Structure 1
Amino acid sequence: MSISYRFLLQALLGLLLACSIAPHARALDERDLLPVDQAFVLSASAPTRDRIELRWQIADGYYMYRHRTAVAASGGFAGGRLDLPAGTRHVDEFFGPVETYRGELVALLEGQASGDEAMLEVKYQGCADIGICYPPQTRKLRVALPGAATASAGLPAAAGGALAGLPGQPALPETQAFSLDAIADGGNLIQVRLQPAPGYYIYRDRSRFVLEGDAGVQALAPRWPAGTLHRDEHFGEVVVYFRTAEVELPVRRSHARPVQATLVATFQGCQDGGLCYPPLTRRIAVDLPAGQAGADAPALAATSSGPGTDDTAATAADTQDAGAAPLSTAEPVSPDASQGNALRTAAPPVADASGLAGILLLALLGGLILNLMPCVLPVLSLKALGLAQSGESRQRARAHALWYTAGVLVAFATVGALVVGLRAAGQAAGWGFQLQQPWFVAALAYLMFAVGLSLSGVFTLGGGVGGRLAAPRSGPAGDFLTGVLACVVASPCIAPFMGPALAYAFAATPPAGMLVFLTMGLGLALPFLLIGLVPALARRLPQPGAWMETLKQVLAFPMYLTAVWLLWVLGKQRGVDAAALVLAGAALLALALWAFERGRWRSSRPVAVVALLLAAVALAPVWGVTRLAPAAAAPSGDAVAYSPQALDGLRAQDRVVFVNMTADWCVTCKANERNVLARAAFQDLLGRTDAVYMKGDWTNADPQIGTFLEEHKAVGVPLYVVYGPGAPPAVLPPVLTAAVVEDALLRAAAR
């Protein structure tokens, strides 16, 4: 990319950013936030006995939600459904696709009068453009019906004519209302200080703490000081803090070395008698000194109360009353914003004999099934048939099988060591992380294309990875490299049934994890290993003949199709220019391989040298695609883009949320989307359950999505999680059916 092109791109991005910020510049002063009843002025009147009109005057810079507006009538009026006008459609940060009102909202409630006065219970919710949403509001109004000589229209039911729940003074900006600090207290404890401003308070059970930056450290359940029992309009009996709360956060470590970590603290607070803020998230750098591995601070209860305090609710029973299970400080925390508490998650599996044996069996079966994948089948088939037609001795056949198996095992061990190393370094690396690298996708596309050309007869290689892939006389090096090739081409084909074994491998100790990876490799190598070690199996293979050449050419086409798919993935990652660049390189590579083959048969060294130079030039796009900027994410239709803040906001509003973590290189993800999530029945189900569809794209590396996967003990994508009010999240199986999705959403909506 030239300097002038890069400068032009930066200028355009700056212009777009300025344009996106300009419309909101007027509303950035949070000190101008109005009390809720000044932001949304409600009145009601009855033009006729069978019709009541409700009117909201909405201040500039504020808006109301259509789906959060409702009215219930009683007294001398039996009302029907509230008639609301169509609002302005947009995708909301908290609720997803919604309709909103600005300026004025007029709603009609038609019904049948049986007296002279109607009692209305009005519910509504709105937000300010500065990003603060008021809590759901409830107002009780008396409305005189025509012909009545009593109360004035719209007089509130509260004494003195004051609207019920009228907030006090204008709210402070969130940075002034609540402060948060954190500092390490040794290597296994963090001291967190939460301080509300006078007249504000913080909820105990709507807070969570997560450590990022190093997978070897985990935050355990926080130890809270005594708080104040508070009757909350929205959450019932809760424990809150009107003054500074000094929270102890124990840390579990898998290593003792110093760590530079980031504490991600999410909490929620309110103005006393005023508005409640949405869940707030602060990120604070914490330098943890060397600590004790495998240990944490002294295990205490998640909450504590001492004598002489007014915290009558600071017990495990209150934690349950708030909707969360009692905490155990021996378990790592996992965010759960609907309860705001650190809910329990499973600790890393213990490598007991029976559990490990079951996992190893799953890993072995998963490796076996990999042999049926279109990427691997050509490699295995030709290698096995080549051994069958060779007529070599049992000792030679055994050597071929053992060297091939060694290549597979070394390749799987290398991948396993890389994954374990990345996770130990604090990076969210699951299976499939290699496909997030454009250079790897480009190189794999070249490899698939080159193997296809070899199977089609364009060129041959004596190293066991080309047209003579089947030839057992390629020697130990050729057999070993063929095993490595089998592992490499299998990397995009890891199927969902290997999830439990991979999950165990990623969570277990490094030796146990490596054993799982090696067992997967053994499963992949097992068919050819048995053919080489058991002569009776080799004799059962079809007799050699001309049909083998035809089979070899037919098996080239799955390799071509795999290369096309990889080019599509690359296009999603780095744009169509990257795909075109690699496609041009592949054409040049085909020319180089064709020339090399002709030069070898004619014993022409100059031609062979020129062909090798052409091949080197053809590989330049592998480096070139890394210089291209990531492609812009395609619109996801009705789905809301995943972010921790958006998910926290939705869950704080008790919305049902269906989270889909996907990637363009994930074949299972695309199959699920095509068969279930892209169908009209799924959209209808979202409407029936009032659920929000949230989508996270892991095609390129994304630390936030990586953290989400780790929190749910997922080894990669796909990951489907359904959140509902008052319940822990439900993780769905990696292969979806319409019935599974419907059951999960209906269960979440019914709570």
Structure 2
Amino acid sequence: MRSLFVGPLAARLLIWLGLLLGAWPALAQNTAELLPVTEAYQLRTDASTPGVLKLHWTIAPDYYLYRGRMKFKAGDGVTLGEAQLPDGEKHHDEYLGDVETYHHGVDASIPYTVAAGTNRLQLSVQYQGCHEVDPKICYPPHTEKLDLPVPAAAGEVPPSAGGTNTALGVALSKLGASATGANTGAALPEAQAFRLEALMQGPQKLLLRWTMPKGYYLYRDQTSLKLLDAGGVSLQPDWPAGTTHHDEHYGQVTVYFDQVELPLTLQGDLAGHQQIDLQASFQGCQDGGLCYPLMTRTLHLDLASSTPAVAAVAPEMPPATIAGGPLQVSLALALLLALGGGLVLNLMPCVLPVLSIKAVSVLESGESHAVARRHALFYTAGVLCSFAALGLGILALRTAGHAMGWGSQLQQPLVVGVLACLMLAVGLSMSGVVQFGASLGNTGASLATRSGPAGDFFTGVLAVVVASPCTAPFMGSALAYAFAAPVVSALLVFLMLGVGLALPFLLIGFVPALARLLPRPGRWMETLKQVLAFPMYLTAVWLVWVLANQRGADAVGLVLVAMVLLAMTLWWFERSRSRGAVSKFAVIVLAMATVVPMALLAHVRPTASVAASVDGVVAYSPEKLASLRAAGTPVFVDMTADWCVTCKANEHTVLNTDAFHDLLQRTGAVYMKGDWTDVNPTISAFLQQYNSPGVPLYVVFPKNGGPGRQLSTVLTRSMVDQAITEAAR
């Protein structure tokens, strides 16, 4: 992490002198009401995920933490990666200059590796904060020593730089684990760990029920309940006896394990009320593990119904989604949506460059029905195998508690760099710079461009890889179902997506009437092939741009060096066909040299995040969203990523237009954006709350505090205009 204090030693001394002089008047005031530092900033840890330490600070009201004053130092046998911290609130400090601060709470995650034989995760965490109202005082830097058990998987196989391979290996071994998480020890998403529902038991009697898996508990005194827009109606709770528990932060507290039922009496005149909204805020923990931040749910209660109402995970989800979640969609409907989504995926810009390869091969097959069928079958096999592997990987990582979604493999810079090089290699092949033969039949670019079954199969693989940045219509509901359904049903959905993607070529291969509509092959085919190489080059350029936003100029420099070395390798490979063993050995040396910058790319640290405050855009944080909603401000939340082609298309056609900015000014709505280009646990949690398989995700929150409205992944101006206008009423 880059410190704010990076100037010369003299500058640091002057800053500290200013801090002391500025703090002196405050020290003279009565500081009796100030909290101890560990109560003002309550630090909780979660080391249940192998290779990642999660930290959460609960910050008391009128206190704040400095982002730039957080430091992390590893103990014996532990190597820490770059800490992942969200953007803070930017302002100019009288003594420290431009700083970022956190209010209410903040989450951080730190990747780590441990040496062989290390079974304790030891590190020190230093932080500093201030009291921002009288008496105004800044605490000195405070250090907490952490000594936590290393998860078994982390001790056995240290995570890689990206964490993906190790996580996948651990997750695959746990696919059969209990859905409650009892077998894995990994903390469950809050919606699964704390299920809340309500039941009307009479005209003015209500029962709230929290249900927790084994090993989870709920704090009684950290729970608050209120009615929204109830017109004078109030609540009278009757808490049952709980379990006395010693908490390291709260002392002796009352908690509830497994399940607790809370009777409530509605006091006041209910005449004229058909429905009321109850908001519950509460906190709980996994015994011996993660303590969750404050959770807020809203229940929509029909006073005349005895049907239980299930709470929404805050920020609130649309009522239609709350009622049954993604599994409310039947398997048959999910498969139909997946088929349609895969079919439309053929028209998305991320898939078109690879389809150009397939189009050339189909046209070259001429009128031979047998050859056309072979192309179609092997291409479809490549697509289906890739979707099956992708589905298994995502489901396995989800089972292990990792936040993975559609397209999230592009959060890994090494994956982006490899794909950029692959696009370049395919483009060079289509341009005629190199002709791959059987000797390189096992390389990625060769497999995608060679003729025969292997070429067809790996063209299908490549189509799936580059399709993942796009989200087509119908795909969102199907993928949301797949991410929540049992493994077999989920895999069927992924396979049906593959059938939809491969369907056009299946029809061409097996319907002779369609095949006869294709033009006859001729000399023009070579020109077409060379022209279609340029979309491949543009795809490589786009991937380098994504990498620039993830890891900055250093990463771009490394991948450009790798691409030049790759081009040199392919050029010399073509020249060495008729030469001796020395020339062929030179090809191997150049190929190995190409790998070096790619290996270095995996170790480039993330660039410092820039707050999304340009053009009136507010960077997403749960705390900022909560404060805006509490102030009665309508909010348009946009979860996006630089590698998401659908997101960029929506921004170009709708969100980055004068009409959209005029709409925000007219309605007083705030445009809040979350960037998921890189791994971000906070945004992953928001996506999970809405059962979204990935980005884009658009949610409009009304100013009256009601539930948010989730929009389609493909936006139109009229859709956005209507949603924001209604939210501002």
Deviation at 1:550, TM superposition (A): 0.7
SS class of match (2:722): helix
Deviations 1:27-69 (A, max 9, x none): 7998658xxxxxxxxxxxxxxxxxxxxxxxxxxx99xxxxxxx
SS class of match (2:525): helix
For residues 45-56 of structure 1, the aligned pairs below 5 Å read none
The 1:687/1:371 distance shift into structure 2, 3 A limit, reads closer
Deviation at 1:470, TM superposition (A): 6.7
Deviations 1:258-287 (A, max 9, x none): 7789999986699xxxxxxxxxxxxx999x
CA RMSD of aligned residues (A): 5.0
Equivalents in 1 of 2:414, 2:103: separation in Å?
A: 37
Select 1:251's aligned residue among 212, 222, 225.
Answer: 212
Task: Give yes or no for the alignment of 1:438 onto 2:432.
Answer: no
SS class of match (1:631): coil
Deviation at 1:542, TM superposition (A): 1.1
Equivalents in 1 of 2:676, 2:220: separation in Å?
A: 21
SS class of match (1:461): coil
Task: Give yes or no for the alignment of 1:577 onto 2:548.
Answer: no
Deviations 1:145-193 (A, max 9, x none): xxxxxxxxxxxxxxxxxxxxxxxxxxxxxxxxxxxxxxxxxx9999xxx
Equivalents in 2 of 1:528, 1:738: separation in Å?
A: 34
Equivalents in 1 of 2:469, 2:179: separation in Å?
A: 40
Deviation at 1:712, TM superposition (A): 1.3
Task: Give yes or no for the alignment of 1:727 onto 2:723.
Answer: no
Select 2:607's aligned residue among 625, 631, 639.
Answer: 631
The 1:707/1:583 distance shift into structure 2, 3 A limit, reads same
Equivalents in 2 of 1:92, 1:691: separation in Å?
A: 24
Aligned length: 532
Letter in 2 for 1:574: R
Task: Give yes or no for the alignment of 1:738 onto 2:691.
Answer: no
Equivalents in 2 of 1:222, 1:314: separation in Å?
A: 24
Select 2:598's aligned residue among 622, 627, 646.
Answer: 622
**What residue in structure 2 maps to residue 557 of structure 1?**
534
Deviation at 1:732, TM superposition (A): 2.0
Q: Is the 8 A contact 2:366 2:521 kept in 1?
A: no
Q: Is the 8 A contact 2:448 2:462 kept in 1?
A: no
Task: Give yes or no for the alignment of 1:658 onto 2:643.
Answer: no
Equivalents in 1 of 2:565, 2:501: separation in Å?
A: 33
**What residue in structure 2 maps to residue 410 of structure 1?**
385
Residue identity over aligned pairs, in percent, reads 46
Deviation at 1:512, TM superposition (A): 1.4
For residues 199-238 of structure 1, the aligned pairs below 5 Å read 213-214=188-189, 217-221=192-196
Deviations 1:210-264 (A, max 9, x none): x96458934211689x9xxxxxxxxxx999xxxxxx9973126xxxxx7789999
Worse-superposed segment, 646-655 or 442-451: 646-655
Task: Give yes or no for the alignment of 1:522 onto 2:499.
Answer: yes
Letter in 2 for 1:515: L
**What residue in structure 1 maps to residue 589 of structure 2?**
613
State the structure with more CA Rg. 1
The 1:429/1:614 distance shift into structure 2, 3 A limit, reads same
Q: Is the 8 A contact 1:720 1:733 kept in 2?
A: yes
**What residue in structure 2 maps to residue 427 of structure 1?**
402
For residues 477-516 of structure 1, the aligned pairs below 5 Å read 477-516=454-493
Equivalents in 2 of 1:650, 1:565: separation in Å?
A: 35
For residues 92-491 of structure 1, the aligned pairs below 5 Å read 130=131, 213-214=188-189, 217-221=192-196, 249-251=210-212, 303-305=262-264, 312=267, 320=277, 324-326=299-301, 333-336=311-314, 345-350=322-327, 355-390=330-365, 394-395=369-370, 397-462=372-437, 463=441, 474-491=451-468
The 1:321/1:417 distance shift into structure 2, 3 A limit, reads closer
Deviations 1:278-308 (A, max 9, x none): xxxxxx999xxxxxxxxx967x87x414xxx
SS class of match (1:655): coil
The 1:532/1:683 distance shift into structure 2, 3 A limit, reads closer
The 1:405/1:671 distance shift into structure 2, 3 A limit, reads closer
**What residue in structure 2 maps to residue 696 of structure 1?**
674
Structure 2: any 5+ residue segments left out of the alignment?
A: 35-61, 64-98, 105-128, 135-177, 227-246, 250-256, 280-297
**What residue in structure 2 maps to residue 39 of structure 1?**
none
**What residue in structure 2 maps to residue 712 of structure 1?**
690
Equivalents in 1 of 2:634, 2:103: separation in Å?
A: 12
Equivalents in 1 of 2:337, 2:575: separation in Å?
A: 47
Equivalents in 2 of 1:736, 1:366: separation in Å?
A: 16
SS class of match (1:357): helix
Task: Give yes or no for the alignment of 1:12 onto 2:6.
Answer: yes
Query: What TM-score do the two structures reach when normalised by structure 2?
Result: 0.62
Q: Is the 8 A contact 1:214 1:425 kept in 2?
A: no
SS class of match (2:602): helix
**What residue in structure 2 maps to residue 669 of structure 1?**
647
Select 2:571's aligned residue among 590, 594, 597.
Answer: 594
Deviation at 1:670, TM superposition (A): 2.3
Task: Give yes or no for the alignment of 1:539 onto 2:491.
Answer: no
Equivalents in 1 of 2:518, 2:426: separation in Å?
A: 24
Letter in 2 for 1:495: A
Equivalents in 1 of 2:216, 2:430: separation in Å?
A: 51
Letter in 1 for 2:403: A
SS class of match (1:221): strand
Q: Is the 8 A contact 1:374 1:558 kept in 2?
A: no
Query: What TM-score do the two structures reach when normalised by structure 1?
Result: 0.60
Letter in 2 for 1:251: M
The 1:652/1:17 distance shift into structure 2, 3 A limit, reads farther
Deviation at 1:664, TM superposition (A): 1.2
SS class of match (1:428): coil
SS class of match (1:427): coil
The 1:220/1:593 distance shift into structure 2, 3 A limit, reads same
Equivalents in 1 of 2:607, 2:721: separation in Å?
A: 34
The 1:721/1:263 distance shift into structure 2, 3 A limit, reads farther
Deviations 1:311-335 (A, max 9, x none): 7479998954779512999776433
**What residue in structure 2 maps to residue 649 of structure 1?**
627
Q: Is the 8 A contact 1:332 1:344 kept in 2?
A: no
Q: Is the 8 A contact 2:346 2:352 kept in 1?
A: yes
Equivalents in 1 of 2:521, 2:658: separation in Å?
A: 52
Equivalents in 2 of 1:732, 1:357: separation in Å?
A: 23
The 1:699/1:467 distance shift into structure 2, 3 A limit, reads closer
Structure 1: any 5+ residue segments left out of the alignment?
A: 1-5, 34-60, 63-89, 96-127, 134-186, 191-210, 227-236, 240-245, 253-257, 271-283, 287-295
Deviation at 1:402, TM superposition (A): 2.0
Task: Give yes or no for the alignment of 1:548 onto 2:525.
Answer: yes
The 1:219/1:459 distance shift into structure 2, 3 A limit, reads same
Worse-superposed segment, 542-551 or 624-633: 624-633
Q: Is the 8 A contact 1:94 1:649 kept in 2?
A: no
The 1:563/1:709 distance shift into structure 2, 3 A limit, reads same
Deviation at 1:532, TM superposition (A): 2.9
Equivalents in 1 of 2:502, 2:496: separation in Å?
A: 10
Deviations 1:91-112 (A, max 9, x none): 99899xxxxxxxxxxxxxxxxx
Letter in 2 for 1:733: S
Select 2:545's aligned residue among 568, 572, 582.
Answer: 568
